[in-house]
Structure 1
Amino acid sequence: MTDSFTLARLGAPGEEVPVVRVGDRVLDARGVAADYDGAFFAGDGIARLGAALDTLPEFDGDTARVGAPIARPGKIVCIGLNYRDHAEETGAALPAEPVIFMKDPYTLVGPNDDVLIPRNSTKTDWEVELGVVIGRTARYLDSPQDALAHVAGYAVSHDVSEREFQLERGGQWDKGKSCETFNPFGPDLVPAARVDDPQRLGLRLWVNGELRQDGSTGNMLFSVAHVIWYLSQFMVLQPGDVINTGTPAGVALGLPGTPYLRAGDTVELEIDGLGRAGQRMVQA
């Protein structure tokens, strides 16, 4: 059987089952993985899945809902202003070093789940991002050249933001990033071995069918490898952790006169080779 496969989790919230997609087939991965969590990635789980594909049965459970392709991570680390065009559209100076902030891991939801517009929000914004899932513990890496060997895989990530909470009400950015449902993720986790170059991926986002973001990871100020190396100097990255690597231009914050998200709006987003997701906005 081909080793070209992706990881997904299907089922109701809190009841997701790990599966493997191989072409049009969906295989039950529970014979290899209790879940796609830190222990799975630390135990070389993706390689074990690949070796076991011929023995996995067809999945016959609930396929109506696609959950996030990984279990709740220990942490979600985000990189701000990591695309030149996005920094310029928001009037921010280009950072000399990566801008780091954290996002509550409880924000992680399925790729097609509803996103809740927070109470009292007037500036809920969209951001398509390349999501990176760590596969091996990374601490004090010697150089960026060592970094990509620590990646389990890549996924489409939506770093939803509330700009007033983030920028106008003082303190750290986290409170504008950590509202409930603010990180749809997936649909699948694509193993790192299937992504030839994470700096050659197109990423796009539509709001109510209108293209708002159309960029490339090649325009990152700090590459995926640099970001992982850099973060490892300040924190230990654990298997299953998520890094949101920044967003290109086209967010509402950088488009004066463009309305922010409201209940009833829809957002669709995609990254080359990683799949497509879509969410409906609902009032909290």
Structure 2
Amino acid sequence: MYRIVQVLNNNIAIVKKGDKQEIAMGKGLVFQKKKGDLISEAAISNLFVLKNEESKENISILLKDIPLDYITTAYEIIENAINKYDYSVQEYIYVTLTDHLYWNSKKLRKGEYIESFLPDINEQYPVEYEIAKDALEIIELKLGIVFPKSELKNLSIHFINAQTKSDSHSEMSEKKVNEQNIMQQIEMILKGKNILRSTDNQNFYDRLMIHLRYMLDRDGQQTDDSFAEKMEESLKKEYPKAYETAEEIYQEISEKTGLDLKPSEKVYFTIHLQRIL
């Protein structure tokens, strides 16, 4: 039996068995249940482990109102990448990919979907492109949604962005301390630019701050500069205001934190800023 730590919605909960916390998923899994109640293993359709408190917080923010089908579909896409392609990812992709699938599918249904402006990445990232091709098939099979082919670029970027390498425990501990200090400085910079969390923008702001934290996690893992430069040119044309704001903020972050910012990181930051602006 698992004990409920936090109910996220009727289908999803953070649960505990022994000292290990996990995300449990199942249709109507925690309907009319509350923190402290028990649920049986037979009622759970999917489980994945929460490695740290940060993961718990991020999942609570981003997945609370997303239907179960989207979460399990994203989970299957990621597990396919891990098992079929031996692809190593950071844990946060379970959150960001689910979020992407849900909101883009809503735009598609409303006729508001905008095809990707990103340059072709097939040659630079063949493995990620194959993962994305599999993902489109899984999405169509599980959700009945047929995305345009340009969605391959968006899905590929999620895996490029989340690819990771193993670090020792001491390296990770030191890195987390440094990241926390830098995050505090970044929040002060954003406030100085009048980018503040409000009732109207809290969802997008939270997504931005989560991305910033993961951007710091990726320090030293650089996307190919020529690829980032192509993306920057597209962003300047498509989202001039967001790009200009991102460029100004990145200059200040670089000066005040000493962080060696990569071109690819500025690109991702611009995309998040566009959602707020």
Q: Name the TM-score, length of structure 1 as normaliser.
A: 0.23
**TM-score under structure 2 length normalisation:** 0.23
Greater relative CO (CA pairs within 8 A, separation 6+)? 1
Max Rg structure: 2
